[in-house]
Amino acid sequence: MTEVPPYAINALLIIAVVIAVLYGIETIGRVSELILYFVSGFIIIVVLLLLPNVKIENIQPVLEYGIIPVFEGSIFLSSFITLPLVNILMVYPKNVYNVKTAKKAIIKGYLLSAFFKFITLLMTILVLGYAIAASTQYPTYLLGKEINIGTILTRLEFIVAIIWFATQFVVTILYFYSALVGFSQIIGLKDYKKIAVPLAFIIFIMTEVIFPNVIYQGFMLE
């Protein structure tokens, strides 16, 4: 959608996020649960459809340079998998009825998420190879293009895009909710919903200031 202004696309997501936050944390939790089943099913479908394209030689030799590079890569990857879980502290244990049950649910959710990430990375390397997986900005999207079952099931990368949109929607809600609760506590405001719209407007403006595009983002991260 190159002809559409980025602010127009950003506005759609921000409006949806604000509506979700205004409905409260219980609604956010129920929506997240529904999306979990939805996304899990899609991931399983993608993995099954990619099995004919798997090449075992893409992961050989195993541990060619030892275990140290694996640990180094794992530390970097943890910044995307483990560290963002600090946002859960805005929900747990304050907003749960049964702390023990919620604790088990968080652990199970983390393990399930880690398993899906492992399967995704493994399938990316098995199908595309380590060189493409390491050098491509979005290798999982290329993974969806590799689905080719006869002449009927081809170019199903839209499934990967749907998974991205659904999961990033939930992640954005959690980040926004954490920002609202944290900022309202700093200024001594009892109801965080009163600043939801003003803060959303600030974020809307900053979306094209902090990271205007992926090229600028990649340059800044380097």
pLDDT surpassing 70 at residue 221: no
User: What H or E segment, with its residue span, contains residue 153?
Assistant: strand 153-154
SS3 175: helix
Mark residue 162 as left, alpha or beta (left: phi above 0; alpha: psi -120 to 50; beta: remaining).
alpha
143 and 163 in contact (C-beta within 8 Å)? no
pLDDT one-digit tens code per residue, 170-216: 889 988 998 898 888 889 888 888 999 999 999 999 888 887 777 77
102-109 contacts, C-beta under 8 A, 24 or more apart: 109/36
Phi-psi region of 69 (alpha: psi -120 to 50; beta: other; left: phi over 0): alpha
pLDDT band for position 16 (cuts 50, 70, 90): very high
pLDDT(222) > 70: no
Closest CA to 43 of 140, 148, 149, 154: 140
The C-alpha atoms of residue 211 and residue 6 are separated, in whole angstroms, by 11
Residue reference for tokens 């959710």: 109
Mapped onto helix, strand or coil, the DSSP state of residue 149 is strand
Interval 75-123: pLDDT, tens? 877 777 777 778 777 777 777 788 888 888 888 888 888 888 889 888 9
pLDDT surpasses 90 at 148: no
Would you kindly state where each structural domain of the chain is located, as residue ranges? 6-221
With cut-offs at 50, 70 and 90, classify the pLDDT of residue 151: low
pLDDT for the residue 196: 92
Check residue 199 and give its pLDDT: 92
Per residue in 120-140, pLDDT (tens digit) is: 888 998 998 888 888 887 888
Choice between 220 and 184, residue whose per-residue pLDDT is larger: 184
Average pLDDT score over residue span 33-41: 88
